[in-house]
A and B are shown apart, each in its own frame.
Chain A
Amino acid sequence: MIRAAVTALLLTVAMPAAADTIAITNGTVALGDGSGPIRGATVVIRDGRIVAAGQGVGVPAGARVIDASGKWVTPGIVAGFSRLGLVDVEGGAEGANDESADKGLFNAAIDVAPAINPNYQPIKVNRADGVTRAVVAPRAAHNIFAGQGAVIDTGADMDPITKARAFQFVELGETGASDAGGSRPSAYILFRNALREAGELSRFAGPVASAGATEPDARLRPMQNPNESRIYGRSAGRSQDVLLTRFDAAALVPVLQGRQPLLVHVERASDILNVLHLAREFPSLKFVIVGATEGWMVADRLARSGIPVIASALNDLPASFEEIAATQSNIGRMRAAGVKVSIGMIDDDESHRDFYERQYAGNLVALQKVPGATGVSWGDALAMITSRPAEAIGLGGQIGRLAPGEHADVVIWSGDPLEVTSGAEQVFIDGVQQPLDDHQSRLLERYRYLPRTDLPKAYRP
């Protein structure tokens, strides 16, 4: 059976399976839209897209039928905030980590897309556990602006980018204060100044095709220029009074114009309110708050702002002075207040363990039974790791749900995916069945049997 899997892998790599029509039948299906699981349902995939999902969905003639009796079927997990694909080995392995440019000269202009390596083990390991897409952010180095993040898929092919320059990422909490020289006020004045400089440049920008516009087959098109500076000619003069490089300032123009979401990392309740103030000050900006450990304290105001939140799921320690009121009920309370909240991996081994999101989601369900705590329903929990992060960064309706027209990212699980004891058995990305082996599974086979044999273990397949 293992051999069969390996053979299947080789075939898949050699010639990617045609994105033909597949019907997954008899499974317990969850759509990822917040609704609960549906027993005995069918999911139909054609040409890389979801055609239909639910009970009473017919199997098209000629479809490859996969019987998912006893299995669960869901959209692939969308890592809501991650650094997946930027890193193979986190520390001590120079060359295998592109999270941040500590000695670099640019900040907002940085574009993570060229760093994504679909052959890195964390992509494979997460794929094997049902993570099919990820929101990938750069890490801030010596400026509050970290640069432009991407949305990727984890497919076994060389085209990982779903959307390059999908968002700008900025630090405005403790990290931002540190990056700004040591205080929050310094971070805020840097922020306002950066937008001023971007505004100065934007006056020279004519109407442009949206740099980050979603194109269904974006992966087939040539990589676009990694920043917006090309839209300005020589006439685009700048005042003498600037701190940002031209590239960095130009990269903030789409943020200023509301064409590129701005992910802001803050944890403290008062910092969250500061962001709400910024949202009123700069109404064109599309803010998304990342972190929000103390969000529950200002949940009503967050909800009224309509700003989406990508939060750490289980932070419950006063790990820093901006997380004093941390509780695992944070997400449940924000959700109950009407905040558009989803789950991300914020400073939580987000380059490697994004597959923890389903465990975290399950733990939020568990809180429903804990007196005094606020949990979330199972359907909500699944949505928080599938459709809701996609919506937060402007890819709602494209990834994260088993809904007609969305990317056919589908996982067949051995059981309830929010239980850690369940495993991903079959993974489809854009309708293509994925290999699930990796460095780890190969090591398992090599060392499963320890006694000495006729040749060293290095000769084992």
Chain B
Amino acid sequence: MRVIAIVGLAALVLSGCAALEPKAAPAPAIRINEDPYPSTYVRYPGALTVIRHATVFTGDGQQINNGTVIFANGVLQAVGGPDLASPAGATEIDGTGKFVSPGIIDIHSHLGVYPSPGVEANSDGNELTDPIHADVWAEHSVWPQDPGFSRALVNGGVTSMQILPGSGDLMGGRSVVLKNVPGRTVQEMKFPGAPYGLKMACGENPKRVYGSHDHMPQTRMGNMALDRETWIKAVRYKRDWDDYYAHGGKMPDRDLTMDTLKGVLEGKILIQNHCYRADEMAQMIDMSKEFGYHITAFHHAVEAYKIADLLRENDICAVMWADWYGFKMEAYDAIPQNIALVHNAGACAMVHSDDPNGIQRLNQAAAKAMAEGQRAGIPNLSEAVAWEWLSRNPAKALGILDKTGTLTPGKMADVVLWNGDPFSDYSRPERVWIDGAEMYDANDPHKRPVSDFELGQPGEGDAK
């Protein structure tokens, strides 16, 4: 009996082995590379630089009169008053009568994807072949030779920007954050460590593009339905991959659109949502809660002032023009106090351009918004506070505030020296540094980028 038992056990073991053998242990999961087009940006060399006697906007609401800014090795070293000592060997710049600010960050640009010249062959910003195109990536369209980058640098003091796909699709694709340093490839411009964004769009554009072809969506409710159906798939896709990464086994089929949405659901990819009307923003907020993601910013939020409380409560930034209005029905209720009202409600406000000309004057857009707010009686709107709309808040909404956006020691030395008060029409950037490297000097014609496209053309190297 004992023998039998042993034999029985052996049989059991054997049969167990026989049963398990075809299954084997699950294959360990293979991690998908989430950064297959990595940044190859390397900062250019810069001098140990001290700017003295300038009016300094730190970018986080502070103004330092007779201020000193010190940077070296690409990094801000110290920011303070006249008593800051210069390190040995520093290049000293007299900023008397001049202003220093963080580099401006434009969170909404189509440079490179809708470049100059604006001809059909260069038009790469809107896929428009299906309303759900979270699979396309703006960086795969960016033409680094767009002359617009240089204008944004030299006239606008713009040191970083987010390049977005257009708004014809409900999900237009991934954005990319760039340093405004000329590159041969877009990889050479990619802001190291900046998260991706997903461009979503509410309202008129998607329903016009597809409705005009009798294709869903042709209504706002169609916009919502298609978005929701997509998020349902994305939640299932993420569950499949979570399961795969936890237990291994057969790799789920990959889908580029779903990859992006999974990144959103994981909080790795930020939602940058084109949305004009207050009521539609509220719908998008509910949709984000339905599926468990967070909206980082509403772009072109011309009615943000109507729901500034809702934006504050949900920690969503509003990205706004100073005074564009009436160019479409959903912009009919735009008011020039929008930015100031949103700011005053305690929500995160910022200016943006969406335009290769406007990007050259974002400081003046902030000046308008500040002045309109002041005239409307909104309190505590100083120039130093308004500067938050130009660099700090865009950096926050791009997930790079730990790296740039304010003049804080330890951050990237993205710095503009203005030849006067940047809230005046009469002032322009005089020198611009990106990661401490001087990329523009108004007094040095060699310190002015010229794109390949402009070589050998009339006006090459001209003051633009």
> Taking beta carbons and an 8 Å cutoff, which residues of A are in contact with B?
87-93, 121-122, 125, 269, 294, 297, 314-321, 323-329, 349, 351-353, 355, 359, 362-363, 365-367, 369-373, 414, 418-423, 439-441, 443-444, 447-448, 450-451
Contacts and interface: CB of A to CB of B under 8 A. Distances in A.
B346 to A, nearest CB: 11
A354 B163 CA distance: 28
Interface string B112-123: 000011110000
A370 B427 CA distance: 9
Contact of B328 (A92, A323, A329, A366): A92
B365 to A, nearest CB: 8
Interface in B408-464: 419-420, 423-428, 442-443, 445, 453-454, 457-459, 462-464
Nearest to A419: B425
Contacts of A373: 463
A326 to B, nearest CB: 7
10 contacts: A88-B326, A122-B326, A317-B357, A318-B116, A318-B453, A318-B457, A419-B425, A421-B370, A423-B375, A447-B341
B126 interface: no
Interface in B116-171: 116-119, 147-148, 151, 155
Interface stretch (B49-57, B226-234, B332-340, B394-402): B332-340
A437 B454 CA distance: 46
Nearest to B429: A370
Contacts of B357: 314-315, 317
B327 A91 contact: yes
B425 A418 contact: yes
Nearest to B376: A444
Contact of B329 (A92, A317, A359, A372): A92
A320 B118 contact: yes
Identify whether the interface residues of B are mostly helix, strand, loop, or mixed.
loop
Given A353-B323, A370-B463, A440-B325, A89 B116 contact: no
Interface in B317-331: 323-329
B213 to A, nearest CB: 16
Interface string B328-365: 11001111110001000100000000001100110010
Q: Kindly name the residue among A87, A316, A319 whose own CB sees the greatest number of chain B CB atoms within 10 A.
A: A316
A355 B368 CA distance: 12
B388 interface: no
Contact of B151 (A316, A321, A371): A316
Interface string B177-201: 0000000000000000000000000
A454 to B, nearest CB: 18
Q: Kindly name the residue among A92, A320, A326, A421 whose own CB sees the greatest number of chain B CB atoms within 10 A.
A: A421
B308 A359 contact: no
Nearest to B457: A324
A365 B426 contact: yes
Contacts of A316: 151, 155, 360, 464
Interface residues of B, number: 61
A316 B148 CA distance: 9
A386 B345 CA distance: 39
Contacts of B345: 450
A353 B308 CA distance: 26
A444 to B, nearest CB: 5
Contacts of A321: 117, 119
A121 B331 CA distance: 12
B361 A363 contact: yes
Contacts of B308: 450
B276 to A, nearest CB: 12
Interface in B275-307: 305-307
A178 B405 CA distance: 45
4 shortest A-B CB distances, which residue pairs? A362-B425, A325-B459, A372-B463, A325-B458
A285 B423 CA distance: 45
A420 B462 contact: no
A352 B172 CA distance: 28
A422 to B, nearest CB: 7
B204 interface: yes
A88 B204 CA distance: 17
Interface of B: 116-119, 147-148, 151, 155, 204, 208, 305-309, 323-329, 332-337, 341, 345, 356-357, 360-361, 364, 367-368, 370-372, 375-376, 419-420, 423-428, 442-443, 445, 453-454, 457-459, 462-464
A351 B325 CA distance: 11
A54 B326 CA distance: 39
Contacts of A448: 341, 376
B74 to A, nearest CB: 27
Nearest to A349: B327
Given A90-B327, A370-B442, A318 B454 contact: yes
Contacts of B305: 447
Nearest to B308: A450
Contacts of A420: 364, 367-368, 371, 425
Contacts of A317: 116, 147-148, 151, 356-357
Contact of A91 (B328, B361, B371, B442): B328
Contacts of B334: 440
Nearest to A294: B458
B325 A352 contact: yes
B117 A318 contact: yes
A329 B462 contact: yes
Contacts of A372: 442, 445, 462-463
A89 B463 contact: no
B325 A366 contact: no
Given A91-B327, A318-B454, A353-B324, A366 B335 contact: no
Given A316-B155, A371-B442, A440-B335, A423 B371 contact: yes
B376 A362 contact: no
Given A319-B116, A329-B463, A444 B335 contact: yes
B327 A352 contact: yes
Contacts of A93: 328-329
A351 B326 CA distance: 9
Nearest to A314: B357
A107 to B, nearest CB: 26
Nearest to B312: A450
A351 B331 CA distance: 14
A269 B458 contact: yes
A273 to B, nearest CB: 14
Contacts of A444: 335, 337, 341, 376
A423 B356 CA distance: 26
Contacts of A294: 458
Given A297-B458, A366-B428, 18 more contacts: A93-B329, A121-B325, A294-B458, A317-B356, A318-B116, A320-B119, A323-B117, A327-B464, A349-B324, A359-B361, A359-B364, A363-B425, A370-B419, A370-B463, A419-B426, A420-B368, A447-B306, A450-B307
A91 B203 CA distance: 13
B367 A125 contact: no
Contacts of B307: 450
